[in-house]
Structure 1
Amino acid sequence: MAASPTHARAWPFVRATTAALAFVAIVAQLERTVRNAQESTTVWGSDVATVVTNFLSFFTIQSNLAAAIVLTVAAVWAWTSGRRQSVEPRWLATLLVCVTTYMLVTGVVYNLLLRGIALPQGVTVPWSNEVLHVIVPGLLLIDLLFAPRRRALPWSTVAIALGYPLVWVVYTMVRGPLVISPSTGNPWWYPYPFLDPNRPGGVASVAPYVVVIAIGIAATAAAVVGVGRLRARR
């Protein structure tokens, strides 16, 4: 189904606005995180370099940052060479599949597994937390369903989308025991409780979460590719 000219002209602004919202939310949370480190009274809590690296190691932050960058690129493409194109280029379509998959998984995992976990007062910026875990994922879903110039991609794109999350899991599990937790002083740090092998059950308690999330990412990527193929046919 072809998009109307008004729809096609307006959508880059939707993408650029979503990107700006994600960037602002990330910066707001980073500023709060650094300020907390600077005010910490412990050696491990005041290590700003470690605290910033930890912040950037969250899947939520990485996926939001990637989404913001890709949406910005997509908007610029639409305002320049994209004005003469009926469908988005394959490289851009592939990147959009990846970031859409990651953001949808971020939203689902947060709201199913993490929303009920209480955090110390002042650790997070509440509005930023909602933007990164709810609003931006929702906007990426809207983009998947309604963005113009959608290109059909092969099913092999699912394998491409799986690459980054697998690398992230390996990075997380290798780095975890090498870092002192800024909040507790424990000689390990993991971005999410369900990835912490120091909890009761050890590594055996982590493996099922990793497997389920991997399956979920693959299924989500397949759904995203499927929607794109369906929309392209229409």
Structure 2
Amino acid sequence: MTRAPWWENTWSTVRLVTAALIAAAVIAQAQVTFSLAADAGRDMTTTVVNFFSFFTILSNVASIFVLAWASLWLWMRGRDAAGRPAREPVPLAVALACVSTYMIVTGIVYNTLLRSVELPQGTTVPWSNEVLHVVGPLVLLLDVFLGPRPRSLRWSAVWAVVAFPVVWVVYTLVRGPLTVNPVTGAEWWYPYPFLDPALQDGYGGVAVYVVGIAALIALVGWFVVWVDRRRAVVGSTGATTETVTAPSKNAPVSR
């Protein structure tokens, strides 16, 4: 859908503000996590790697860069020399589809499976937690419908969307039994309870969650690409309507 320049600029500002808010939330949580680890004399290297092994953190960090990229692109390259609007470049469009999917899934999984999981008092920053799991995902969901300049992605973009979560799951399950939990001293560490074989009656229980979440990611990714393609078609139809002068009648017509 073709939108007025004021709307494009407004939404680009929303993207940039959201990126800044997410960055502040990640930094705030990192400061608390790293400070607690330092005070307790825990291994800092393991603590830092663990922090950036959470899918939530990785999704939010990726969103910071992609939202900032989208905003700056529109302001700097969003129109050609003649002032006509340009479609998002393919790498940016794919990146937006990816982070939108990851953030939406993060919001769904956290609020259905993890919100009720109790954590030690003082280990999380409440406002940061809500930004990373609620505010950010909601803005990225709205961005799917309201973001300016969508382009018609190929359906193969869905494979690009699911690639990173697959790599992350493999990394997590391989690293988990090789990592000593710096908090409890257990000889394994997993970022989420549903990935811990000790809590899920073995890898069979873990597999059920992995398959379910993989299906959710694929479904959300398909939906995001479908909306992108649908909006691009509508926008292309609207963009092709222009006023010209008919030679015989000197009357404006549309083509």
Q: What interval of TM-score do these two structures reach, taking the shorter chain for normalisation? A: over 0.9
Kindly indicate whether residue 85 of structure 2 is the aligned counterpart of residue 82 of structure 1: no
CA distance in 2, matches of 1:95, 1:140: 12
Change (3 A) 1:79 1:200: closer
Letter in 2 for 1:146: L
Pairwise CA distance, 1:199? 2.1
Quote how far apart the aligned CAs of 1:61 are: 0.2
Query: Is 1:109 the counterpart of 2:109 in the alignment?
Result: yes
Aligned match of 1:62: 58
For residues 199 and 103 of structure 1, the distance between their equivalents in structure 2, rounded to whole angstroms, comes to 25
- For 1:1-234, list aligned pairs within 5 A: 1-40=1-40, 46-84=42-80, 85-234=85-234
Q: TM-score, normalised by structure 2?
A: 0.88
CA offset digits 1:147-172 (Å, max 9, x no partner): 11111111111111010000000000
Relative to structure 1, the CA distance from residue 219 to residue 12 in structure 2 (aligned partners, 3 Å threshold; closer, same or farther) is same
Return the structure number with greater helix share.
1
Aligned length: 230
| CA–CA distance in structure 1, aligned partners of residues 200 and 144 of structure 2 | 40
Give RMSD over aligned pairs: 1.0
C-alpha separation between the residues in 2 aligned to 1:226 and 1:193?
32
- In structure 2, relative to structure 1, the CA distance for the partners of 1:66 and 1:200 (3 Å cut) is closer
Deviation track 1:8-28 (CA, whole Å, cap 9, x = no partner) reads 122221111111111100000
Task: Give the gaps of 5 or more residues in structure 2.
Answer: 235-255
Moved over 4 A (4+): none
Larger Rg: 2
Task: Give the residue type in structure 1 aligned to 2:164.
Answer: Y
Structure 1 unpaired stretches of 5+: none
Amino acid at match of 1:208: V
- The letter for the 2-side match of 1:47 is D
Determine the C-alpha separation between the residues in 1 that align with 2:79 and 2:72: 10
Matched residue SS, 1:205:
helix
Identity %: 52
Per the TM alignment, residue 200 of structure 1 is displaced from its structure 2 partner at its CA by 4.7
Distance 1:192 1:70 in 2: 25
| Aligned-partner residue type, residue 30 of structure 1 | A
Cα distance in 1 for partners of 2:14, 2:222 equals 24
How far did 1:83 drift? 3.1
1:20 and 1:200 map into 2 onto residues whose CA distance is: 37
Q: Is the 8 A contact 2:145 2:227 kept in 1?
A: yes
- Counterpart CA distance in 1 for 2:12 and 2:2 is 16
Q: For residues 200 and 91 of structure 1, what CA distance do their matches in structure 2 show? A: 38
